[in-house]
Amino acid sequence: MPGEKAVETTGAAAGDKAPGEQSGGRRAADGSAPAKKAAARKPPVKKSPARETAAGEAPARKASARKAPAKKAPAKRVAGEKAATAAKAVVRKPESRTALVRRARRIDRELAEIYPYAHPELDFVDPFQLIVATVLSAQTTDLRVNQTTPGLFAKYPTPEDLAAADPEEVEEILRPTGFFRAKTKSVIGLSKALVEEFGGEVPGRLEDLVKLPGVGRKTAFVVLGNAFGRPGITVDTHFQRLVRRWQWTEQTEPDKIEAEIAALFPKSEWTMLSHHVIFHGRRICHARKPACGACPLAPLCPAYGEGETDPEKAKKLLKYEKGGFPGQRLNPPQSYLDAGGRPAPPLGAG
Protein backbone atom coordinates (compact mmCIF):
# COMPACT_ATOMS: atom_id res chain seq x y z
CA MET A 1 0.00 0.00 0.00
CA PRO A 2 1.25 3.46 -0.72
CA GLY A 3 1.09 4.44 2.90
CA GLU A 4 2.97 1.35 4.04
CA LYS A 5 5.75 1.83 1.44
CA ALA A 6 6.16 5.34 2.58
CA VAL A 7 6.57 4.13 6.10
CA GLU A 8 9.04 1.44 5.09
CA THR A 9 11.02 3.82 2.97
CA THR A 10 11.24 6.21 5.86
CA GLY A 11 12.26 3.44 8.21
CA ALA A 12 14.80 2.10 5.68
CA ALA A 13 16.20 5.50 5.14
CA ALA A 14 16.53 5.93 8.85
CA GLY A 15 18.06 2.47 9.25
CA ASP A 16 20.59 3.00 6.40
CA LYS A 17 22.09 6.10 7.96
CA ALA A 18 25.57 5.82 9.43
CA PRO A 19 25.93 5.50 13.16
CA GLY A 20 27.12 9.05 13.35
CA GLU A 21 24.20 10.29 11.37
CA GLN A 22 21.86 8.23 13.52
CA SER A 23 23.35 9.84 16.56
CA GLY A 24 22.90 13.19 14.94
CA GLY A 25 19.36 12.28 14.03
CA ARG A 26 18.60 11.30 17.56
CA ARG A 27 20.15 14.46 18.87
CA ALA A 28 18.03 16.42 16.43
CA ALA A 29 14.89 14.51 17.22
CA ASP A 30 15.47 14.39 20.94
CA GLY A 31 17.41 17.63 21.21
CA SER A 32 15.95 18.63 24.51
CA ALA A 33 16.50 15.35 26.31
CA PRO A 34 20.25 14.95 25.56
CA ALA A 35 20.73 18.58 26.44
CA LYS A 36 19.19 17.94 29.82
CA LYS A 37 21.38 14.87 30.32
CA ALA A 38 24.44 16.81 29.28
CA ALA A 39 23.45 19.51 31.65
CA ALA A 40 23.04 16.88 34.32
CA ARG A 41 26.47 15.43 33.57
CA LYS A 42 28.33 18.70 33.10
CA PRO A 43 27.47 20.48 36.34
CA PRO A 44 29.93 18.38 38.34
CA VAL A 45 32.66 19.40 35.86
CA LYS A 46 31.62 23.01 35.78
CA LYS A 47 31.08 23.04 39.50
CA SER A 48 34.45 21.54 40.25
CA PRO A 49 36.11 24.98 40.14
CA ALA A 50 33.27 26.19 42.30
CA ARG A 51 33.88 23.29 44.64
CA GLU A 52 37.59 24.05 44.55
CA THR A 53 36.82 27.66 45.40
CA ALA A 54 34.40 26.61 48.07
CA ALA A 55 36.88 24.05 49.30
CA GLY A 56 39.57 26.70 49.27
CA GLU A 57 37.41 29.15 51.14
CA ALA A 58 36.15 26.65 53.67
CA PRO A 59 39.62 25.75 54.96
CA ALA A 60 40.41 29.44 55.06
CA ARG A 61 37.36 30.01 57.17
CA LYS A 62 38.26 27.03 59.32
CA ALA A 63 41.84 28.23 59.64
CA SER A 64 40.55 31.64 60.54
CA ALA A 65 38.29 30.07 63.10
CA ARG A 66 41.20 28.07 64.48
CA LYS A 67 43.53 31.11 64.62
CA ALA A 68 40.99 33.30 66.37
CA PRO A 69 41.76 31.97 69.87
CA ALA A 70 45.51 32.58 69.31
CA LYS A 71 44.81 36.24 68.55
CA LYS A 72 43.05 36.72 71.85
CA ALA A 73 45.41 38.48 74.22
CA PRO A 74 45.23 38.50 78.01
CA ALA A 75 43.03 41.20 79.41
CA LYS A 76 46.05 43.05 80.86
CA ARG A 77 47.81 43.09 77.50
CA VAL A 78 44.69 44.27 75.71
CA ALA A 79 44.26 47.05 78.27
CA GLY A 80 47.90 48.00 77.92
CA GLU A 81 47.70 48.04 74.13
CA LYS A 82 44.57 50.18 74.25
CA ALA A 83 46.28 52.62 76.57
CA ALA A 84 49.30 52.69 74.29
CA THR A 85 47.13 53.29 71.25
CA ALA A 86 45.43 56.15 73.02
CA ALA A 87 48.77 57.57 74.07
CA LYS A 88 50.17 57.33 70.56
CA ALA A 89 47.07 58.94 69.15
CA VAL A 90 47.67 61.91 71.43
CA VAL A 91 51.37 62.41 70.83
CA ARG A 92 51.18 61.95 67.09
CA LYS A 93 49.17 65.13 66.81
CA PRO A 94 51.15 68.32 66.41
CA GLU A 95 52.04 69.34 69.94
CA SER A 96 52.05 72.97 70.93
CA ARG A 97 54.74 74.38 73.15
CA THR A 98 52.29 74.64 76.02
CA ALA A 99 51.17 71.03 75.58
CA LEU A 100 54.79 69.85 75.53
CA VAL A 101 55.60 71.69 78.75
CA ARG A 102 52.52 70.27 80.46
CA ARG A 103 53.26 66.71 79.33
CA ALA A 104 56.93 66.93 80.34
CA ARG A 105 56.07 68.23 83.80
CA ARG A 106 53.37 65.60 84.25
CA ILE A 107 55.92 62.89 83.45
CA ASP A 108 58.29 64.32 86.03
CA ARG A 109 55.50 64.38 88.64
CA GLU A 110 54.77 60.74 87.90
CA LEU A 111 58.47 59.91 88.23
CA ALA A 112 58.62 61.70 91.57
CA GLU A 113 55.84 59.42 92.84
CA ILE A 114 57.54 56.30 91.46
CA TYR A 115 60.98 57.23 92.82
CA PRO A 116 60.48 59.47 95.88
CA TYR A 117 63.90 58.31 97.11
CA ALA A 118 65.81 59.15 93.89
CA HIS A 119 69.37 60.27 94.68
CA PRO A 120 72.86 60.53 93.17
CA GLU A 121 74.12 56.97 92.92
CA LEU A 122 77.77 57.72 93.61
CA ASP A 123 79.01 57.34 97.18
CA PHE A 124 80.66 60.49 98.54
CA VAL A 125 81.08 62.43 101.76
CA ASP A 126 82.41 65.73 100.38
CA PRO A 127 82.76 67.62 97.06
CA PHE A 128 86.27 66.22 96.46
CA GLN A 129 85.09 62.61 96.66
CA LEU A 130 82.11 63.38 94.44
CA ILE A 131 84.12 65.09 91.70
CA VAL A 132 86.69 62.28 91.64
CA ALA A 133 83.98 59.58 91.60
CA THR A 134 82.15 61.34 88.78
CA VAL A 135 85.30 61.53 86.66
CA LEU A 136 85.87 57.81 87.28
CA SER A 137 82.28 56.93 86.27
CA ALA A 138 82.99 57.51 82.57
CA GLN A 139 82.63 54.27 80.55
CA THR A 140 81.67 52.21 83.59
CA THR A 141 78.87 51.85 86.14
CA ASP A 142 78.36 53.82 89.32
CA LEU A 143 78.38 50.49 91.12
CA ARG A 144 81.91 49.68 89.97
CA VAL A 145 83.08 53.16 90.93
CA ASN A 146 81.52 52.83 94.39
CA GLN A 147 83.25 49.50 94.84
CA THR A 148 86.61 51.05 93.88
CA THR A 149 86.69 54.46 95.56
CA PRO A 150 86.78 53.23 99.19
CA GLY A 151 90.30 51.88 98.60
CA LEU A 152 91.31 55.04 96.72
CA PHE A 153 90.10 57.49 99.37
CA ALA A 154 91.43 55.38 102.21
CA LYS A 155 94.93 55.84 100.79
CA TYR A 156 94.50 59.37 99.33
CA PRO A 157 91.83 61.19 101.39
CA THR A 158 92.65 64.76 100.23
CA PRO A 159 93.52 66.54 96.97
CA GLU A 160 97.04 67.08 98.32
CA ASP A 161 97.47 63.32 98.90
CA LEU A 162 96.21 62.34 95.46
CA ALA A 163 98.21 65.08 93.73
CA ALA A 164 101.43 63.61 95.15
CA ALA A 165 100.48 59.96 94.51
CA ASP A 166 102.55 57.46 92.53
CA PRO A 167 100.65 57.00 89.23
CA GLU A 168 101.39 53.27 89.12
CA GLU A 169 99.85 52.74 92.55
CA VAL A 170 96.76 54.72 91.57
CA GLU A 171 96.46 52.76 88.32
CA GLU A 172 96.41 49.51 90.24
CA ILE A 173 93.57 50.74 92.45
CA LEU A 174 91.56 52.08 89.51
CA ARG A 175 92.09 49.06 87.25
CA PRO A 176 88.55 47.64 87.87
CA THR A 177 86.94 50.81 86.46
CA GLY A 178 88.47 50.38 83.00
CA PHE A 179 90.57 52.94 81.11
CA PHE A 180 92.53 53.12 84.35
CA ARG A 181 95.62 54.82 82.90
CA ALA A 182 93.65 57.72 81.44
CA LYS A 183 91.56 57.99 84.60
CA THR A 184 94.66 57.99 86.79
CA LYS A 185 96.06 60.87 84.76
CA SER A 186 92.76 62.77 85.09
CA VAL A 187 92.28 62.41 88.84
CA ILE A 188 95.93 63.22 89.63
CA GLY A 189 95.80 66.22 87.29
CA LEU A 190 92.47 67.27 88.80
CA SER A 191 93.93 67.08 92.30
CA LYS A 192 96.99 69.12 91.34
CA ALA A 193 94.75 71.81 89.80
CA LEU A 194 92.65 71.96 92.97
CA VAL A 195 95.76 72.39 95.10
CA GLU A 196 97.49 74.92 92.86
CA GLU A 197 94.52 77.02 91.74
CA PHE A 198 91.86 76.64 94.42
CA GLY A 199 93.74 75.98 97.62
CA GLY A 200 92.77 72.32 97.72
CA GLU A 201 89.03 73.11 97.63
CA VAL A 202 86.53 72.17 94.95
CA PRO A 203 85.12 75.39 93.45
CA GLY A 204 81.39 75.95 93.49
CA ARG A 205 81.08 77.74 90.13
CA LEU A 206 80.43 76.15 86.75
CA GLU A 207 83.03 78.26 84.94
CA ASP A 208 85.72 77.13 87.39
CA LEU A 209 84.76 73.48 87.43
CA VAL A 210 84.88 73.00 83.66
CA LYS A 211 88.51 74.21 83.62
CA LEU A 212 89.62 71.25 85.71
CA PRO A 213 91.18 68.21 83.95
CA GLY A 214 88.56 65.59 83.05
CA VAL A 215 85.63 67.79 84.10
CA GLY A 216 82.91 68.70 81.58
CA ARG A 217 79.47 70.21 82.03
CA LYS A 218 77.89 66.90 83.03
CA THR A 219 80.41 66.33 85.84
CA ALA A 220 80.19 69.98 86.86
CA PHE A 221 76.39 69.84 87.22
CA VAL A 222 76.59 66.60 89.22
CA VAL A 223 78.92 68.35 91.67
CA LEU A 224 76.99 71.63 91.75
CA GLY A 225 73.61 69.95 92.23
CA ASN A 226 74.58 67.32 94.78
CA ALA A 227 77.53 68.80 96.70
CA PHE A 228 76.59 72.49 96.64
CA GLY A 229 72.81 72.42 96.22
CA ARG A 230 72.96 74.50 93.04
CA PRO A 231 70.52 73.35 90.35
CA GLY A 232 71.88 71.62 87.30
CA ILE A 233 70.81 69.09 84.64
CA THR A 234 72.95 65.98 84.31
CA VAL A 235 72.83 64.84 80.68
CA ASP A 236 74.22 61.32 80.86
CA THR A 237 73.41 58.47 78.47
CA HIS A 238 70.21 57.52 80.31
CA PHE A 239 68.98 61.10 80.34
CA GLN A 240 69.68 61.56 76.63
CA ARG A 241 67.89 58.36 75.70
CA LEU A 242 64.72 59.03 77.68
CA VAL A 243 64.15 62.70 76.83
CA ARG A 244 64.38 61.78 73.14
CA ARG A 245 61.98 58.85 73.56
CA TRP A 246 59.55 61.18 75.28
CA GLN A 247 59.98 63.69 72.45
CA TRP A 248 61.04 66.48 74.75
CA THR A 249 63.83 67.25 72.30
CA GLU A 250 65.28 66.11 68.99
CA GLN A 251 68.78 67.33 69.79
CA THR A 252 71.67 64.86 69.99
CA GLU A 253 74.43 67.03 71.45
CA PRO A 254 74.49 67.12 75.30
CA ASP A 255 74.80 70.92 75.52
CA LYS A 256 71.80 71.46 73.24
CA ILE A 257 69.76 68.79 75.05
CA GLU A 258 70.55 70.47 78.35
CA ALA A 259 69.41 73.86 77.05
CA GLU A 260 66.11 72.59 75.62
CA ILE A 261 65.18 70.54 78.68
CA ALA A 262 66.12 73.37 81.04
CA ALA A 263 63.59 75.55 79.25
CA LEU A 264 60.77 73.09 80.06
CA PHE A 265 61.21 73.11 83.84
CA PRO A 266 61.74 75.61 86.64
CA LYS A 267 65.40 75.87 87.61
CA SER A 268 64.67 74.64 91.12
CA GLU A 269 63.62 71.25 89.71
CA TRP A 270 66.63 70.57 87.49
CA THR A 271 68.67 68.45 89.93
CA MET A 272 65.83 66.17 91.02
CA LEU A 273 64.56 65.93 87.45
CA SER A 274 67.95 64.48 86.51
CA HIS A 275 67.74 61.89 89.30
CA HIS A 276 64.19 60.91 88.37
CA VAL A 277 65.00 60.40 84.70
CA ILE A 278 68.24 58.51 85.38
CA PHE A 279 66.55 56.25 87.93
CA HIS A 280 63.84 55.40 85.40
CA GLY A 281 66.38 54.73 82.67
CA ARG A 282 68.30 52.31 84.84
CA ARG A 283 65.31 50.45 86.24
CA ILE A 284 62.60 50.32 83.57
CA CYS A 285 63.33 52.21 80.36
CA HIS A 286 66.46 50.30 79.37
CA ALA A 287 68.46 51.04 76.25
CA ARG A 288 68.07 47.73 74.43
CA LYS A 289 64.81 46.34 75.75
CA PRO A 290 62.65 48.72 77.77
CA ALA A 291 59.98 47.14 79.95
CA CYS A 292 57.08 48.95 78.26
CA GLY A 293 54.41 46.55 79.54
CA ALA A 294 55.34 47.28 83.16
CA CYS A 295 56.00 51.00 82.82
CA PRO A 296 53.72 53.39 84.77
CA LEU A 297 54.42 56.08 82.13
CA ALA A 298 53.04 54.03 79.21
CA PRO A 299 49.96 56.26 78.64
CA LEU A 300 52.23 59.32 78.38
CA CYS A 301 55.02 57.77 76.32
CA PRO A 302 55.26 58.28 72.53
CA ALA A 303 57.80 55.42 72.33
CA TYR A 304 55.55 52.78 73.91
CA GLY A 305 56.08 49.53 72.02
CA GLU A 306 59.81 49.86 71.44
CA GLY A 307 60.28 47.26 74.16
CA GLU A 308 58.39 44.30 75.64
CA THR A 309 54.67 45.09 75.95
CA ASP A 310 53.50 41.83 77.53
CA PRO A 311 53.00 42.72 81.22
CA GLU A 312 54.32 39.43 82.59
CA LYS A 313 57.39 39.37 80.35
CA ALA A 314 58.03 43.05 81.00
CA LYS A 315 58.07 42.48 84.77
CA LYS A 316 61.03 40.14 84.34
CA LEU A 317 63.04 42.99 82.77
CA LEU A 318 62.68 45.32 85.75
CA LYS A 319 65.71 46.20 87.84
CA TYR A 320 63.74 47.64 90.67
CA GLU A 321 64.68 48.09 94.33
CA LYS A 322 61.15 47.21 95.43
CA GLY A 323 61.65 43.89 93.71
CA GLY A 324 64.66 43.17 95.88
CA PHE A 325 67.42 44.33 93.55
CA PRO A 326 70.41 46.12 95.10
CA GLY A 327 71.15 49.70 94.17
CA GLN A 328 74.40 51.23 92.98
CA ARG A 329 75.62 52.60 96.31
CA LEU A 330 77.32 50.76 99.13
CA ASN A 331 76.07 53.51 101.47
CA PRO A 332 72.70 54.68 100.11
CA PRO A 333 70.48 57.31 101.76
CA GLN A 334 68.15 56.17 104.51
CA SER A 335 65.10 57.08 102.44
CA TYR A 336 66.19 54.52 99.86
CA LEU A 337 66.60 51.83 102.51
CA ASP A 338 63.20 52.73 103.98
CA ALA A 339 61.63 52.16 100.55
CA GLY A 340 62.99 48.62 100.42
CA GLY A 341 66.23 49.34 98.59
CA ARG A 342 69.32 47.26 99.25
CA PRO A 343 72.95 48.44 99.39
CA ALA A 344 75.31 47.27 96.67
CA PRO A 345 77.92 44.67 97.66
CA PRO A 346 81.56 45.73 98.11
CA LEU A 347 84.19 44.92 95.51
CA GLY A 348 84.79 41.18 95.30
CA ALA A 349 81.55 40.26 97.10
CA GLY A 350 79.40 39.97 93.96
Assess whether 322 carries a catalytic annotation: no
Q: In 3D, which of 158, 170, 160, 171 has the Cα closest to residue 125?
A: 158
| Residues with Cβ within 8 Å of residue 243, at least 6 apart in sequence | 249, 257, 261, 277
d(CA 342, CA 322): 9
Assess whether 82 carries a catalytic annotation: no
Q: Please list the alpha-helical segments (H only) found in 19-31.
A: 19-29
Task: Determine which one of 108, 236, 310, 316 is catalytic.
Answer: 236
Q: In 3D, which of 250, 218, 254 has the Cα closest to residue 234?
A: 218
d(CA 328, CA 118): 12
Q: Please list the alpha-helical segments (H only) found in the chain.
A: 2-16, 19-29, 32-71, 75-91, 97-114, 127-136, 142-155, 159-163, 167-174, 180-198, 206-209, 217-227, 237-245, 254-262, 270-283, 311-315, 334-338
Task: Determine which one of 123, 142, 183, 218 is catalytic.
Answer: 218
Residue 183, burial from CB neighbour count under 10 angstroms (0-12, 13-18, 19+): buried
Just list the catalytic residues: 218, 236
